[in-house]
Amino acid sequence: MRRLTFENSRGESITFYRDPFVIESLTGISEVDSSIQGQVSPYQDGDTYVDTILQPRYPTLECAIKYTNLQEIKAYRKEVLRVCNPKLGLGKLTLELDGDVKEIHATLDSVPTFPDKGENAYQRFMIVWKCPNPYWRDPQEVSRALRAYEGKFTFPFTFPVQFGIEGDVTTLQNDGDTSTPVTISIQGPISRPMIENRTTGKHITVNTTLSPEEILYIDTSRQHKRVEIYRGNQIIRAMGYLNHNSDFWELEVGDNEIRYRADEGLAEAIAAISWHNQYVGM
């Protein structure tokens, strides 16, 4: 089975399957261009491999309107043009293929094209999307919760010193084909929270104190990288609170050991870490 659904930024959706829109061809689902990055030293033969970068993905759909009545054709054509409008920006493609379901953010590369029917019984059309992020992902977001470290270390101190109680250390598994960004939500009260990916040695430390009414939100994706504090209906930009050596880390493929701690915090200060597994094709 091969069924494709596009939902635009207004929440309108259209499904291409059998009736009334019959899929004749669907390409750009697994294939995507890549660019090999290299560098050359003076007098070097060839070059030195640095990385491989995937280019944007271009899913291309060739379809036919199943009906032959002119009024029905006009109505369905109008529906396709309304939902698949390039001016609406990023939407979402969802593909069901042989029992597997994946989704990807996409925008229209051009207005859908409807060639002249000629002697054909059905009206055919073609749609090309552009996916700036080429990775397919699971529709279901994976989420895990961790408890905070309770700090005990204060100045001045006397021996014996109690440096603190270790926070949660857990293993998060990325089942995708590539590393994937995470979102982190931390509910106060807590002071100077730190989330570390021990597998990569990278951490995010935020030099601030959250009240019980505040939530710290972190997004490590390259496209939407941000640190914010939510206080009721107020959104506070908090990039300036990041510790200077913090990294917007991602989950590597496979197991990732994650540690959550803080200078001060109560048991209620839970951190929720969420992500989507990402795939290079279907």
How high is the pLDDT of residue 266?
57
How is domain 142-279 classified at the CATH fold level? Jelly Rolls (2.60.120)
The boundaries of every CATH 2.60.120.880 domain in the chain are 142-279
pLDDT in tens, 61-114: 999 998 888 888 899 999 999 999 999 999 999 999 888 999 999 999 999 999
pLDDT in tens, 124-169: 999 999 999 999 999 998 988 876 544 443 434 444 433 344 457 8
Q: How many CA atoms lie within 13 A of 216 on its CB side?
A: 30
How high is the pLDDT of residue 27?
92
The boundaries of every CATH 2.40.30.200 domain in the chain are 2-134
Domain 2-134 maps to which CATH number in 2.40.30.200, 3.90.870.10, 3.20.20.370, 2.60.40.10?
2.40.30.200
**CA-CA distance, 124 to 230, in Å (whole number)?**
49
pTM, two decimals, is 0.80
Q: Please provide the average confidence, as pLDDT, over all residues in the chain.
A: 87
Comparing CA positions, the residue from 25, 51, 56, 28 lying closest to residue 38 is: 51
Q: Is 72 exposed, middle or buried (0-12, 13-18, 19+ CB in 10 A)?
A: middle
